[in-house]
């Protein structure tokens, strides 16, 4: 990994910080996380986080590389992300930000069809939030004392 990738420090209004992208299961267990500089956007990371996923089978066969469904917040909403997930055969439940909704409404029929959105599935996104809250019980993560990637992921 590159030196700046191992550091994963980025400058924002609060100083040098790190942004963590997390993939968890329905039981609030972290499966994959990536740390990135804080100035990087959230949306481009949606398709790269599941690439690191490995779910081992109990029996013979290859490990699983793709989740059945991705539940994300409004930061991950984009036409490109939805198309990429559709190509990979992954169902997406991602809320649309108000500005995207207003733009679609302003364009009328040319705005396209609304993306599928299942409220029940979106409410199950709380598993990710619970995973993050468990993670923040650790003092170093909660206070962001350990900001570097190699501290989060180990050697």
pLDDT in tens, 115-132: 777 888 888 888 888 888
Task: Look at the chain and count its residues.
Answer: 155
pLDDT in tens, 76-108: 888 888 888 889 888 888 888 888 888 888 888
C-alpha distances (whole Å) from 32 to each of 80, 102, 117 are 22, 34, 24
* Contacts of the segment 22-29: beta carbons below 8 A, 24+ positions apart: 22/49, 22/128, 22/131, 22/132, 22/135, 23/49, 23/50, 23/53, 23/67, 24/127, 24/128, 24/131, 25/127, 26/124, 26/127, 27/127, 28/127, 28/128, 28/130, 28/131, 28/134, 29/131
The total number of structural domains that make up the chain: 1
Q: Is 3 left (phi over 0), alpha (psi -120 to 50) or beta?
A: alpha
Q: Which residue's entry shows tokens 């989060």?
A: 152
pLDDT above 70 for 36: yes
Which pTM was predicted? 0.67
- What percent of the chain is predicted at pLDDT more than 70? 75
Quote the pLDDT of residue 130.
86
Please give the Cα distance from 97 to 99 (Å, whole number): 6
C-alpha distances (whole Å) from 9 to each of 2, 26, 113 are 13, 30, 39
- 24 or 135, higher pLDDT: 24
Quote the pLDDT of residue 7.
61
In terms of residue numbers, what domain contains 98? Answer: 3-153
The answer to whether 104 touches 114, Cβ cutoff 8 Å, is yes
pLDDT above 70 for 148: no
Please give the Cα distance from 135 to 101 (Å, whole number): 33
């Amino acid at each position: 990994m590159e030196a700046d990738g191992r550091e994963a420090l980025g400058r924002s209004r609060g100083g040098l910080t790190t942004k963590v992208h997390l993939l968890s299961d329905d039981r609030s267990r972290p499966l994959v996380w990536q740390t990135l500089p804080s100035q990087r956007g959230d949306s481009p990371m949606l398709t790269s986080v599941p690439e690191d996923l490995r779910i081992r089978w109990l029996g013979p066969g290859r490990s699983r590389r793709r989740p059945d469904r991705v539940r994300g917040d409004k930061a991950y909403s984009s036409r490109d992300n939805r198309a990429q997930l559709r190509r990979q055969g992954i169902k997406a439940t991602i809320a649309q930000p108000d500005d995207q909704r207003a733009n679609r409404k302003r364009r009328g029929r040319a705005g396209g069809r609304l993306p599928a959105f299942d409220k029940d599935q979106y409410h199950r996104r709380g598993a990710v939030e619970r995973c993050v809250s468990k993670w923040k019980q650790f003092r170093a993560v909660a206070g962001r004392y350990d900001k570097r990637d190699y501290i989060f992921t180990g050697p």
